[in-house]
Structure 1
């Protein structure tokens, strides 16, 4: 290694956080939310359309590949999480994972949209291989970034402030991933879109990595040896025996399933209930996410004065009551106004769920003597993947029961309108009510552990 390389490695090893992060460090750490959400939203929104419609791969093959993608992603979360907790290097526990994963993540994301000219069987093999690399790199990077959050920000007040830029960046990434990607592939093609978005993601991830991802100098609770010695089975057992984590993760599953069902129902709602053009669905989504940005600041102030449990109960209640409003509108404008109220609740969910999980990790560390952020975020990621399954079951069941027939176009039976409004409003309210009960049973009532 050259002297310059040795100097760089020494500086990287010497980076440790001893006090509260600065504002610039908080902003740089939060910037990671933009590229990760941009890639996730672009992939989930357009990959099936790209391979089925543009590349003419049979839809059944792509469906099987997507199921494999979901299973791999779910299994990777707890595995990578527990391995990350056990890792000990001169650079820390999380930093090596993130640093080694950024480039493979961005390259794999770009290659998803840049397949070579192959027949359909070759394209599906390409998809499976490239998406497997993308899944591994995505979990490695995103899970370890999430695991850094409770370590960098140590109190509820710090976390409520530190999570604001991260969630704002994340919402902007969601908006660009869902609205900006079509404009790019229409103007410069799919490979051009891949290179443009990949370049933006790489720049922001590198800035966030060097500017905001800093581990603490000394573990706060346990020695490295005792944490490293915990077996994988013991990690999972202790996680699921945690009286605070179980109601939290079930509540998170229910409320994220409610959001997933709403997002799936909105395109049907716009076309078949409101009788509007499909493109006007962006107005409903925009009303939700644009409102969520300032509401994050509101919920940040609430949790600093109350507790994560109290603030989350209020945000879930606001979300549930607002969602019920989707039953009534007959125009896009009326539905968009409902979306403004829904966005207030969504902002609370984005801001508070990770703050509460960080509190659970603190309580677990005080009880067991181990800092296990990776295990908790990994298991949480595994469980909440069930929201995708619940979304698919609800959408398929409601549309089938209401008599929806795609071949009829806009001439659907009247029962379809009622079914879609049920899917958009009533079922999410039921899921939200279950989430509220779970969070009500959450046993930690204080602001800090």
Structure 2
């Protein structure tokens, strides 16, 4: 009887992926975003309010988490490109990383009975394992995308299910997690979500993650120094990654500012910020299909410029509404732009990787996705700086509650409209400088 290892070794993709393979590969977007969103939305709340850890300690641990994740991206990407096994370059990383990833995610929410200092040590150790496993699994899944789907046509179609599943994972991570921990407790939530993630990762791994037969000369490993030199000298990658950083920052600023916007500008209940987020995500799902149609009839560069323009014009609308309904309608327009960015950014990066392979003779998906992941991590820092500067300059004072100065309303509206527009304009200029103007390399 053929062993599992042998069956994995013999799996190779020689033609275009089937619709079933594309959907199954896309399933990986759901557990990826489910874990990421649950962690980012609730880990501070859990450790501070439920376990009694000092906020400053949690903040320090999260800074360490961010630094480790940023450093791991280019390192793991370069190693993934260099390693050669009978099972391929990406598959072993993913197969070995899935179980540690979901176990570490569960353990974040299931600490033993320890004093605050011990809880921080637990947090640092478990999150370090989670970070390593997350980067190993998710980066290698991303690196498979340009390999499985080889043309703009294939990538435009193949990225639709992946991004739709990713948005559904975001929604469950932000809206479903509170319902679960309110019903069965934090440990129960951890077990349920981890089980769901394990099943979906395994299903996607077995049914949709397949490597191609790459000629030996084209798969020859490149030295580390040459990896970095070629990556940062790539005339298409530099404007792309800067544009991606600016767009990620614009979105991060909006998401961070919406709770302030709802309470202090719209004078509505804090919980109604979910309506504004819902408007964005609900519109982004069908918009992914729209932008798939657009890019298949134009070029990745043209479609990306259009989607960035739609996003930039839409965010200006946040200056005007006086109620939640008006702001939700603005969110519909923002969601159209977000759907385009979700659909197109990876399609464009895959085109850059194809161009690099033509120039160097090497397929270096891991290096490009790794360096991209390292750079766009800067959006978290930029978002925090923007929020601190705007709130301070506008005279925001948390001790005043809802009785803030009039300048606070203007400052918050600027934070969710004018500042994202400025970052969007910078991104548009970067993407305008993107030199690949054909559909395929």
In 1: Cα distance, 2:319 partner to 2:189 partner: 37
Contact 1:102/1:205 (8 A) holds in 2:
yes
Alignment of 1:177-326 (within 5 A): 177-219=173-215, 222-224=217-219, 227-228=220-221, 230-326=222-318
In 2: Cα distance, 1:127 partner to 1:400 partner: 31
Q: 2:388 aligned with 1:365, yes or no?
A: no
For residue 306 of structure 2, give the secondary structure of its aligned residue in structure 1.
helix
Structure 1 position 223, deviation (Å): 3.4
Aligned twin of 1:57: 53
Alignment of 1:416-435 (within 5 A): 416-435=408-427
Question: CA offsets, 1:58-98, max 9 Å, x none?
Answer: 11111110000000000000000000000100100000000
Contact 1:261/1:395 (8 A) holds in 2:
yes
Alignment of 1:344-363 (within 5 A): 344-363=336-355
TM-score normalized by structure 1?
A: 0.97
**Equivalent of 2:39 in 38, 43, 46:** 43
Contact 1:222/1:371 (8 A) holds in 2:
no
Aligned twin of 2:9: 13
Q: 2:374 aligned with 1:377, yes or no?
A: no
In 2: Cα distance, 1:397 partner to 1:118 partner: 37
Q: 2:128 aligned with 1:128, yes or no?
A: no
In 2: Cα distance, 1:42 partner to 1:284 partner: 19
For residue 3 of structure 2, give the secondary structure of its aligned residue in structure 1.
helix
Structure 1 position 10, deviation (Å): 1.5
Aligned twin of 1:141: 137
Question: CA offsets, 1:424-445, max 9 Å, x none?
Answer: 0000000000000000000000
Structure 1 position 323, deviation (Å): 0.4
In 2: Cα distance, 1:239 partner to 1:155 partner: 21
Q: Relative to structure 2, which stretch is displaced further, 404-413 or 108-117? A: 404-413
Q: 2:17 aligned with 1:25, yes or no?
A: no
Structure 1 position 13, deviation (Å): 0.6
Structure 1 position 53, deviation (Å): 1.1
How many residues matched? 441
Question: CA offsets, 1:104-136, max 9 Å, x none?
Answer: 000000000000000000000000000000000
Contact 1:329/1:335 (8 A) holds in 2:
yes
Task: Name structure 2 gaps, 5 residues minimum.
Answer: none
Question: CA offsets, 1:237-283, max 9 Å, x none?
Answer: 10000000000000000001000000000000001100111110000
In 1: Cα distance, 2:438 partner to 2:103 partner: 44
Contact 2:218/2:363 (8 A) holds in 1:
no
Q: Relative to structure 2, which stretch is displaced further, 51-60 or 205-214? A: 51-60
Structure 1 position 8, deviation (Å): 2.0
Structure 1 position 397, deviation (Å): 0.7
For residue 26 of structure 1, give the secondary structure of its aligned residue in structure 2.
helix
In 1: Cα distance, 2:217 partner to 2:284 partner: 38
Q: 2:430 aligned with 1:438, yes or no?
A: yes
User: Please, what is the CA RMSD of the aligned residues?
Assistant: 0.8
In 1: Cα distance, 2:210 partner to 2:252 partner: 33
Alignment of 1:151-190 (within 5 A): 151-190=147-186
Question: CA offsets, 1:294-331, max 9 Å, x none?
Answer: 00000000000100000000000000000000000000
In 1: Cα distance, 2:356 partner to 2:174 partner: 37
In 1: Cα distance, 2:365 partner to 2:210 partner: 15
Question: CA offsets, 1:351-384, max 9 Å, x none?
Answer: 0000000000000000000000000000000000
In 2: Cα distance, 1:393 partner to 1:66 partner: 16
Task: Name structure 1 gaps, 5 residues minimum.
Answer: none
**Equivalent of 1:390 in 370, 382, 391:** 382
Contact 2:21/2:208 (8 A) holds in 1:
yes
In 1: Cα distance, 2:247 partner to 2:268 partner: 28
In 1: Cα distance, 2:332 partner to 2:344 partner: 19
